[in-house]
Each structure stands twice: as structure tokens, then as C-alpha cells.
């Protein structure tokens, strides 16, 4: 197995699957997560091959994907087997991508170092300037309002900041992830302050 060839083949597969995805799991989300995962992984001394494979594949089995795009864990296994990836690495990658979703809320002790790194990179992409953009894009794709001040518990994009985005900073696993998250968190607080200011309310 040549690791570079394997990564290029998986990258190509994921690119073709997700290039037209419109709910925030598009190829460029994957590419950003992969790059940040490698950056964090290097500083945290993780196995970078496992990290990169898991980052590239992390959203393909997600329930939020359209049925015609989504694949099963068994499909991921055959994909990696075709590239001659060792079974031990395949098991690890599968375990990571099944655990990292926020919804499944697996506590960090069940994640390997590589899993923590990929989860941190995925969470980083949900906050800061990029996270804000993804939230409005996702919200728009679901027909939600930007903000509805008369209905604080209704589903609007601003509500999602409180439900998820502002909580992520304290859920980061690694020191590098925490450091990168702090800056993005501050930017979101600044953003909300300006948003309410422009809206004209006194919040
Ligand atoms: P991830 O790729 O981190 O697993 P999700 O699948 O939960 O993220 O969601 C994809 C993107 O859409 C994220 O940026 C997330 O914050 C955003 N998002 C998810 N649910 C909502 C929602 N109800 N309203 C607005 N944005 C959302
Ligand atoms: Ni993701």
C-alpha cells in the first residue's frame, strides 16, 4: 500500500460524491476539516494517515446526507480494502467516523487521539466566520428565517448559535483545538453583538 496513492484515491472518491452537496457537508467542508485535522494532528503527535483518512470520510455515512449520496460503514470498509489499507487502520477509521458526530455525543474517553483530532477539526469548521456562513447556508436550505426576535425558541439561524455554536469551544478535546477554537469563539461573540446592534434591539 502506498499511502499517497491511497489518500489521492479516497480524496477523488469523496470529491466526486460531495462536490454538489448543498447542506454544509460539501467537498470544501471536508477539505477544510482535513487540513485543520492534519495541522492539529501534527502538533498533537497523532497518526496522520489515520487522521487524514477519517477526516476525508467523516461525513459520508451521516444521516443528513441525501439518500443517493450517503454510503454505509460497509461501503467505507470495501472502499478502503480496495486500496489495500490494513484491517487495523480500517477498523480505527470506521470507529472514528461513527463516533464523531455531535448528535451521538460520545464522551471523549471513548475516542482515540486520532478521533479527538478529527472531531476538533470538524467542530472548528462549525464555528468562527466559516461556521457562521455554514449556519446561514444550512438554515436557508431548510427554509428557516435568519432571526425571529418575537419567537426566541423558534427555529431560526441565530437560535442555532445558542443551541450549538457557542457551546463547541468548551467541548474541544485537544489543547491545539482549544486554542484555535477560542479565537473563532470570540469572533462569533463579536458578530452577534454587531448583529443585534444593527437589528436595533437592546440584547
Ligand atoms: P457537522 O459537519 O459538524 O457534523 P452538522 O451535520 O450538524 O455538522 O451540520 C452541518 C452544518 O450546518 C454545521 O455548520 C451546523 O452548525 C449547521 N447546522 C446544523 N443544524 C442546523 C440548524 N438547525 N440550523 C442552522 N444550522 C445548522
Ligand atoms: Ni463534518
Ligand nearest the Cα of residue 62 is 1
Q: Identify the pLDDT of residue 110.
A: 87
Q: Where is average pLDDT lowest: 23-32, 79-88, 178-187?
A: 23-32
Asked if residue 203 has pLDDT above 60, the reply is no
Asked if residue 8 has pLDDT above 60, the reply is yes
Strand-pairing partners, residue 145, are: 156
Q: What residue ranges do the domains of the chain occupy?
A: 3-199
Q: Where is average pLDDT lowest: 22-26, 42-46, 173-177, 182-186?
A: 22-26
pTM: 0.93
pLDDT-derived band at 153 (thresholds 50, 70, 90) equals low
Question: Using one digit for the tens of pLDDT, what is the confidence trace for 80-127?
Answer: 999 999 999 999 999 999 998 655 556 656 899 999 999 999 999 999
Residues with CB under 6 A from ligand 1: 24-25, 59, 64, 101-102, 122, 126, 131, 134-135, 138-139, 157, 160, 164
Asked if residue 202 has pLDDT above 60, the reply is no
Q: Identify the pLDDT of residue 122.
A: 96
Residues in the chain: 203
For the residues 35-49, what does the mean pLDDT come to?
98
Q: Identify the pLDDT of residue 123.
A: 96
Q: Identify the pLDDT of residue 142.
A: 87
Q: Identify the pLDDT of residue 103.
A: 59
User: In this structure, which residue's CA is closest to atom 13 in ligand 1?
Assistant: 126
Q: Identify the pLDDT of residue 106.
A: 60
Asked if residue 143 has pLDDT above 70, the reply is yes
Ligand nearest the Cα of residue 14 is 2
Q: What CATH number belongs to 3-199?
A: 1.10.3210.50
Question: Using one digit for the tens of pLDDT, what is the confidence trace for 124-142?
Answer: 999 999 999 999 998 998 8
Q: Where is average pLDDT lowest: 31-40, 65-74, 76-85, 151-160?
A: 151-160
Q: Identify the pLDDT of residue 66.
A: 83
What's the CA-to-centroid distance between 173 and ligand 2, angstroms? 16
User: In this structure, which residue's CA is closest to atom 17 in ligand 1?
Assistant: 135
Asked if residue 152 has pLDDT above 80, the reply is no
Amino acid at each position: 500500500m502506498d499511502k499517497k496513492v491511497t489518500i489521492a484515491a479516497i480524496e477523488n472518491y469523496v470529491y466526486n460524491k460531495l462536490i454538489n452537496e448543498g447542506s454544509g457537508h460539501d467537498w470544501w467542508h471536508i477539505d477544510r476539516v482535513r487540513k485543520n485535522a492534519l495541522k492539529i494532528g501534527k502538533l498533537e503527535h497523532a497518526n496522520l494517515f489515520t487522521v487524514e483518512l477519517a477526516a476525508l470520510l467523516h461525513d459520508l455515512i451521516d444521516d443528513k446526507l441525501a439518500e443517493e449520496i450517503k454510503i454505509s460503514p460497509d461501503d467505507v470498509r470495501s472502499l478502503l480494502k480496495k486500496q489495500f489499507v490494513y484491517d487495523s487502520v480500517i477498523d480505527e477509521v470506521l470507529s472514528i467516523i461513527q463516533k464523531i458526530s455531535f448528535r451521538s455525543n460520545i464522551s471523549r474517553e471513548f475516542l482515540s487521539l486520532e478521533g479527538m483530532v478529527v472531531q476538533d477539526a470538524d467542530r472548528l469548521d462549525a464555528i468562527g466566520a466559516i461556521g457562521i456562513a455554514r449556519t446561514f447556508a444550512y438554515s436557508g436550505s431548510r427554509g428557516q428565517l435568519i432571526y425571529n426576535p418575537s419567537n426566541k425558541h423558534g427555529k431560526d439561524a441565530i437560535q442555532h448559535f445558542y443551541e450549538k455554536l457557542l457551546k463547541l469551544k468548551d467541548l474541544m478535546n485537544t489543547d491545539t483545538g482549544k486554542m484555535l477554537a477560542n479565537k473563532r469563539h470570540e469572533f462569533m461573540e463579536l458578530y452577534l453583538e454587531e448583529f443585534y446592534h444593527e437589528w436595533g434591539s437592546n440584547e
